[in-house]
Amino acid sequence: MRIVAIGSKLSDFEVGCYRTLMKYSADGHAVNLVIAGNTTKWKEKDLALANEKCKKIGITKVYFTDKFDEHSVTQENVRTLHSIIKKVNPCLAILPFHKTSVKKREILANSAILACRGIKNILMYEITKNKNFSPNIFFTFEKKSPGKPMMMTSEINSSIRRKAAQKFSSNKIGTDKLTEAFESLRVLLLDSSEMV
Amino acid sequence: MPLFGVDKRMKVVSVGAHPDDIELGMGGTLAKHTARGDDAQIILCTLGGVSGDPRQREEEARKGAQVLGIKKLHILDYPVSKLNKPSIEFEKIIKKVVEEINPQRIYTHSPFDYHQVHIAISKAVSNGAKEVNQILFYEYISSTTPNFIPNAYVDITKYIDLKIKSASQHKSQSVRLYIKPNVIRSLANTRYISAKLGSNPSGLAEAFVINKMIL
């Protein structure tokens, strides 16, 4: 199945949903990333490097948007994201959490929600402390499992990633596992996405 | 591998306060579970208190469950009067029954409900079934509050007739507005459209709030 994850930079994925994306990739799903920023600021060399690193860890394709307006939810923003979503035609979209105090991320999240109309499964991740975020879907991972070597970006070290993965661990899950937590915007259960 | 859930048949249990709650709240979903070969069971907490003869309501509940293909119906027959508020005693009973069944997923009443017995059962299940990885709340049209904001859906377009048939087994409740087929269809159609599940104008869905899903 096809999955798309949207973020404003590579480190968003690393802190918010990296292990989940890797799990999906390992299970044979096609994982696509959309980096919605103003890529005109990026150098060609950096883009190529990011693309290469993502491919190495099993990401099917990385899409970079150009001139994403980080100041407001615009028709153009939504249209840009929607054109990629239409191309990928995913059955699951993973977006940043929309009720955040970080303005840029809020704009991206709301644009992405509009762009993902028609997608049956939408999960949202959060990368900073946020009292509005009430996760209800938890992906668990063995603590000892080393996982694939990454890094998509060099500035995020593994201990930060581990802390990010653990931050929503609670009694509900136990302490012997790492967890990545998501809030569901909508999921369609008992469909092909849940059980074959 | 699927995106959610497990790559095998599931064991699920649905917990309801009164005999018609489950059929109205998630009858289509249960029919879909059983059609897929899942082991779906029902825990019925009370036999309805003052709203009918308990023997008749038990019989109706059995017939309703049979229509949905449920193989096991656990009738606790707990006194309704003791469920007007959360009860530790009842929580222990639920815990024991759930441990015996050992399901992968539980569906129960939502805490976003005006009915105090529904709230008490919702809390008892949430607390008593902590070991179960997946707990979802279903809605009950006559008493759900506006705070019930669904975030999970099941497409029941093909199962609506079974849902209506199972609800109609509760003949003692047939005068109630919310058990009428057009009311059941109307809510299901609204849920399908508002969730943007597809482009079928006659599409029907049941809505849930996820308490937790540990995958």
Q: Among residues of chain A, what percentage have pLDDT more than 90?
A: 34
- Asked if B177 reaches chain A (Cβ–Cβ under 8 Å), the answer is no
The amino acid sitting at B204 is: L
**Phi first, then psi: what are they for B115, rounded to 5°?**
-85, 120
- This model of the complex carries an ipTM of 0.88
Interchain pair B210, A121: CB under 8 A: no
Q: Per-residue pLDDT for A163 more than 70?
A: no
- Across chain B, the runs of DSSP E, i.e. the strands, are 11-16, 39-44, 72-75, 105-109, 134-138, 152-155, 205-214
Q: Thinking of the domain A2-189+191-195, which architecture would CATH place it in?
A: 3-Layer(aba) Sandwich (3.40)
What is the rounded distance in angstroms from the CA atom of residue A178 to the CA atom of residue A195? Answer: 24
Interface size A-B, in CB pairs within 8 Å, comes to 93
Closest CA to B185 of B148, B214, B160: B160
A195 vs B5, B198, B211: nearest CB? B5
Q: What is the chain A residue with the closest CA to B210?
A: A136
Sorted by sequence, the CB contacts under 8 Å of residue B58 that are 6+ apart come out as B19, B47, B75
Q: How far is A94 from chain B (nearest CA, A)?
A: 12
User: Which residues in chain A have Cβ-Cβ distances shorter than 8 Å to B215?
Assistant: 137-140
Sorted by sequence, the CB contacts under 8 Å of residue B9 that are 6+ apart come out as B36, B37, B38, B39
A121 vs B3, B211, B215: nearest CB? B3
Q: Per-residue pLDDT for A151 more than 90?
A: no
Task: Identify from A186, A190, A191, A196 which residue to disrupt to test chain B contact, counting B C-beta atoms within 10 A and taking the largest count.
Answer: A190
User: Which residues in chain A have Cβ-Cβ distances shorter than 8 Å to B68?
Assistant: none
What is the rounded distance in angstroms from the CA atom of residue B213 to the CA atom of residue B215? Answer: 6
Note whether A46 and A154 are within 8 A (CB): no
The mean pLDDT value of chain A amounts to 81
Run of H or E residues at A183: strand A177-189
Q: How confident is the model at residue A110 (pLDDT cuts 50, 70, 90)?
A: very high
Q: Per-residue pLDDT for A148 more than 60?
A: no
Q: How far is A39 from chain B (nearest CA, A)?
A: 31
User: Which residues in chain A have Cβ-Cβ distances shorter than 8 Å to B7?
Assistant: 195-196
Per-residue model confidence as pLDDT tens for chain B (215 residues): 777 766 578 999 999 999 999 999 999 999 999 998 999 999 999 987 666 788 889 889 999 999 999 989 999 988 888 888 888 899 999 999 999 999 999 999 999 999 999 999 999 999 999 889 999 999 998 899 999 999 999 999 999 999 999 999 988 888 888 889 999 999 999 999 998 888 889 999 999 999 999 88
Note whether B198 and A121 are within 8 A (CB): no
Residues facing A95 on adjacent strands: A124
- Asked if B149 reaches chain A (Cβ–Cβ under 8 Å), the answer is no
Interchain pair A195, B1: CB under 8 A: no
B152 vs A29, A173, A189: nearest CB? A189
Interchain pair B154, A173: CB under 8 A: no
What is the rounded distance in angstroms from the CA atom of residue B198 to the CA atom of residue A118? Answer: 7
Interchain pair B153, A91: CB under 8 A: no
B29 vs A91, A171, A190: nearest CB? A190
Predicted local confidence at residue A195, as pLDDT: 52
Q: What is the mean pLDDT of residues A94-117?
A: 92
What is the rounded distance in angstroms from the CA atom of residue A165 to the CA atom of residue A127? Answer: 10
Predicted local confidence at residue B87, as pLDDT: 84
A139 vs B151, B153, B215: nearest CB? B215
- Asked if B152 reaches chain A (Cβ–Cβ under 8 Å), the answer is yes
